[in-house]
């Protein structure tokens, strides 16, 4: 048997692969979160801990680079737990012959984002290889508990019991509003359109962004019960994971899903489903219903002007269901794999 | 300008590359150890933290695999600080078409070493790519302060002031004995000889091993002032780094350097310098002179039967100098690059 692209593509095949080969051997926990929970980060001694390797092609794309991804992506996996990104490691695998100019641009992007989120790289590693990988970057990140997270948990607990010390995928409950913090599918679309020889113009940049910069304000408003960073597998994967882990259904109103006109046309023409395409600066969150409008207001004030309440959690069924403007309903299944490989 | 193999080869060129491109942008510290200290690990809040990506070819070799390297190598970078390896992340980049049998063998090696050192992987990531990389693995590791380390520092401080809370590269002082914990160059030689089409038989296995398993006993005996994990660049790189950071010279007696007969012949025939070849289960350490024989005894009792006192630190000069059996002396320069690429 051989490894297939789908085994690393963020969808159902990857989950099956991880369960069979990785979790079966390594499952353990050092704190509240087990490896098998497949949350965005794990934890130990009150710190959040996560890792991600980036293999995007091309490594420099409209709106950013693998350097922006390496800092934003890993810090986002911490931020959606409510953790303040603080300490990172950085490891590069560089192809012999990669240009120093491109490397410098990538490292500049890293340094810029680190400064914005006030995090630091304290340990690293570099390997040079002959394989035609261009550049691959790994960052591992350590996140801290903080007053924004504590405030959020306080507000949630005014409404119901919440037995977690981080914001967990499994924290969603019936009635919680579902918020998407901005226009979807922009990262995958921008990277795809920038590929050499693609022959399709698209005036969209990647949405790569460090979500901690707005999440800390949303946490201060409080009431967030679950969050995910919808990268590989997109919104469809994130919603399905949240629903499954929380044992609730989710109903989404199709016309409320924020998406830019040009990305929508791009997807229509190419037959791509934007719901399963990667984002790199967005969050899908569940919020206690009474707090949802306030959290939305805070997100908009913090620059996420396209943020929207798109639906709510329900105990009517256990799937993710999308309701069209004319009232018909269809199940949104977890994607089997990301439609566009190597976007992150 | 383009990246060259030497920029990732563990020697002088890599140091220059790191200073110019990485440290210039990212240098910072969260605890006692700055990124620019280029110690085997950094630290934050009393934890040691390190990262390493592994790109060895072939990924399965006599004595182990990239899986053994991923656990031993990263845990060794923690162990030589005196830290107990505890928590790890694991990220894989796998080539589309890599066999599941080989992957399972690699993951089994990881699981086996984790069990031996009582550490755990709590977070991970998998990417599948088309690039001809075979498999690359990153592990980041978090190490804990522990009674073995505290005991060692107590003993060192009976002899002199030691203002560090970990065992640092820069801790060496005049008169300290230099110990190498076993036969050198076995990892690089075993990997090289196992390469397809190499056409040279060598009955040696990689020395890949988790050095914490014997270091904890050596720390209990106490008096260790500096340690390094001599991987890329080998003993020559490790000794030069220690000498430079500690601002002392080191004199080594050539005939005391532990090396197996077959590895020595292999290197002689191929014109390779075993002093600059990678090890994956050895430690170079400085030990307070009065404690050196006791530490050596402990190492042998803990299974490191070829461990040897090979020289001592001196204020006579500032280089690493090797003395031959007939009394002539030659400077051992830091290697410019590892003579064998992609061994770790």
pLDDT per residue as tens digits for the range B37-83: 999 999 999 999 999 999 999 999 999 999 999 999 999 999 999 99
Residue A304 near residue A184, CB atoms below 8 Å:
no
Residue of A105, A118, A125 to mutate for B, most B C-beta atoms under 10 A: A125
pLDDT at A338 over 80: no
- Let me know if residue B337 belongs to a domain: no
pLDDT in tens, A136-178: 999 999 999 999 999 999 999 999 999 999 999 999 999 999 9
Find the helix or strand (DSSP H, E) in which A117 lies.
helix A100-117
pLDDT in tens, A291-304: 999 999 999 999 99
Q: CA end-to-end span of chain B, whole Å?
A: 26
Q: Would the CB atoms of A120 and B94 count as touching at under 8 Å? A: no
**Chain A nearest-CA residue for B44:** A87
The 3-class SS string of A203-267 reads: CCCCCCCCCHHHHHHHHHHCCEEEEECCCCCHHHHHHHHHHHHHCCEEEEEHHHCCCCHHHHHHH
Q: What is the CATH number of the domain that holds A255?
A: 3.90.650.10
- List chain A residues with CB under 8 Å of B52: 91, 125
- Let me know if residue A163 belongs to a domain: yes
3-state class (DSSP) for residue B11 = coil
Q: Would the CB atoms of B5 and A123 count as touching at under 8 Å? A: no
- Let me know if residue A341 belongs to a domain: no
Looking at residue A340, its pLDDT comes to 81
Give the strand pairing for B320-323 and B249-253. Answer: parallel
Looking at residue A199, its pLDDT comes to 76
pLDDT at A10 over 90: no
Looking at residue B278, its pLDDT comes to 96
How sure is the predictor about B290, in pLDDT bands with cuts at 50, 70 and 90? very high
- Cα dihedral: B215, B301, B188, B137 (round 10): -40
Question: Residue ranges of the alpha helices (H) in chain B?
Answer: 12-17, 24-26, 66-79, 100-117, 147-159, 186-193, 212-221, 234-246, 261-270, 292-301
Question: Which of A261, A262, A256, A308 has the alpha carbon at shortest distance from A282?
Answer: A308
Cis peptide before B32 (omega within 30 of 0): no
Residue A5 near residue A333, CB atoms below 8 Å:
no
Which residues are within 8 A (CB) of B140 and not within 5 positions of it... i.e. 6 or more apart?
A: A51, A89, A91, A123, A138, A140, B49, B50, B51, B52, B74, B88, B89
User: What whole-number distance in Å separates Cα of residue A305 and Cα of residue A299?
Assistant: 7
The total number of residues shown for chain A amounts to 344
> Residue A18 carries which DSSP code?
I
Using a 10 angstrom Cβ sphere, with 0-12 exposed, 13-18 middle and 19 or more buried, the burial of residue B300 is middle
Q: What tokens were used for A56?
A: 């995007």
How sure is the predictor about A111, in pLDDT bands with cuts at 50, 70 and 90? very high
- Let me know if residue A272 belongs to a domain: yes
Looking at residue B285, its pLDDT comes to 98
State how far the alpha carbon of A101 is from the alpha carbons of A63, A108, A134, B1, B6, in Å: 17, 11, 13, 7, 18
User: What whole-number distance in Å separates Cα of residue A52 and Cα of residue A50?
Assistant: 7
Looking at residue A225, its pLDDT comes to 98
Looking at residue B97, its pLDDT comes to 96
Residue B142 near residue B48, CB atoms below 8 Å:
yes
Distance from CA of B118 to the nearest CA of A (A): 12
- List chain B residues with CB under 8 Å of A21: 100, 103-104, 107
Looking at residue A326, its pLDDT comes to 96
Distance from CA of B202 to the nearest CA of A (A): 25
Reduced DSSP (H G I as helix, E B as strand, rest coil) percent helix, strand, coil of chain A, to 5: 40, 25, 40
**Residues A187, A320, A28, B149, CA torsion sign:** positive
User: What whole-number distance in Å separates Cα of residue A140 and Cα of residue A142?
Assistant: 7
pLDDT in tens, A234-272: 999 999 999 999 999 999 999 999 999 999 999 999 999
- Let me know if residue B338 belongs to a domain: no
Q: Would the CB atoms of B28 and A124 count as touching at under 8 Å? A: no
State how far the alpha carbon of A212 is from the alpha carbons of A63, A106, B200, in Å: 18, 21, 55
pLDDT at A200 over 90: no
- Let me know if residue B153 belongs to a domain: yes
- List chain A residues with CB under 8 Å of B54: 127
Q: Number of folded domains in chain A?
A: 1
Residue A180 near residue A284, CB atoms below 8 Å:
yes
Question: Which of B62, B164, B76 has the alpha carbon at shortest distance from B109?
Answer: B62
pLDDT in tens, A48-75: 999 999 999 999 999 999 999 999 999 9
**Residues A154, A160, A165, A169, CA torsion sign:** negative
Q: Would the CB atoms of A136 and B132 count as touching at under 8 Å? A: no
3-state class (DSSP) for residue B326 = coil
Looking at residue A202, its pLDDT comes to 87
Neighbour count for residue A71 (Cβ, 10 Å) = 30
Q: What does the mean pLDDT of chain B come to? A: 96
- Let me know if residue B343 belongs to a domain: no
- Let me know if residue A214 belongs to a domain: yes
Considering only the beta carbons, identify the residue of A22, A55, A108 that sits closest to B124: A22
Residues of chain B above pLDDT 70, percent = 100
pLDDT in tens, B218-257: 999 999 999 999 999 999 999 999 999 999 999 999 999 9
Show the domain range for A225: 5-331
Residue of B33, B34, B104, B131 to mutate for A, most A C-beta atoms under 10 A: B131
User: What whole-number distance in Å separates Cα of residue A167 and Cα of residue A174?
Assistant: 16
């Amino acid at each position: 048997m051989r490894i297939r692209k789908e085994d690393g593509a963020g969808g159902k095949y990857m989950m099956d692969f991880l369960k069979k080969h990785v979790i079966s051997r390594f499952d353990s926990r050092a704190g509240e979160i087990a490896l098998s929970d497949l949350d965005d980060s794990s934890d130990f001694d009150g710190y959040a801990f996560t890792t991600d390797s980036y293999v995007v092609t091309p490594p420099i794309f409209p709106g950013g680079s693998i350097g922006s991804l390496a800092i934003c992506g890993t810090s986002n996996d911490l931020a959606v737990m409510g953790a303040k990104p603080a300490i990172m490691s950085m490891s590069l695998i560089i192809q012999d012959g990669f240009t120093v100019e491109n490397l410098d641009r990538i490292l500049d992007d890293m340094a810029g984002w680190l400064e914005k989120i006030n995090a630091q790289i304290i340990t690293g590693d570099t390997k040079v290889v002959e394989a035609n990988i261009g550049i691959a970057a790994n960052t591992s990140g350590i996140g801290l508990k903080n007053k924004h997270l504590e405030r959020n948990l306080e507000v949630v607990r005014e409404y119901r019991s919440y037995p977690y010390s981080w914001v967990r995928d499994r924290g969603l409950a019936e009635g919680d509003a579902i918020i998407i913090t901005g226009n979807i599918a922009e990262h995958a679309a921008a990277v795809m359109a920038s590929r050499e020889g693609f022959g399709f113009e698209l005036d969209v940049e990647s949405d790569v962004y460090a979500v901690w910069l707005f999440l800390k304000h949303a946490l201060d408003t409080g009431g967030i019960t679950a969050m995910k960073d919808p990268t590989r597998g997109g919104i469809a994967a994130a919603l399905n994971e949240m629903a499954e882990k929380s044992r609730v259904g989710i109903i989404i109103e199709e016309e409320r899903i924020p998406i830019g006109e040009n990305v929508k046309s791009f997807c229509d023409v190419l037959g791509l489903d934007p719901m399963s395409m990667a984002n790199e600066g967005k969050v899908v969150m569940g919020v206690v219903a009474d707090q949802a409008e306030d959290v939305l207001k805070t997100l908009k004030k913090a620059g996420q002007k396209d943020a929207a309440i798109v639906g709510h959690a329900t105990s009517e069924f256990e799937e993710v269901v999308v309701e069209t403007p004319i009232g018909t309903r269809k199940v949104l299944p977890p994607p089997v794999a990301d439609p566009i490989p190597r976007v992150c």
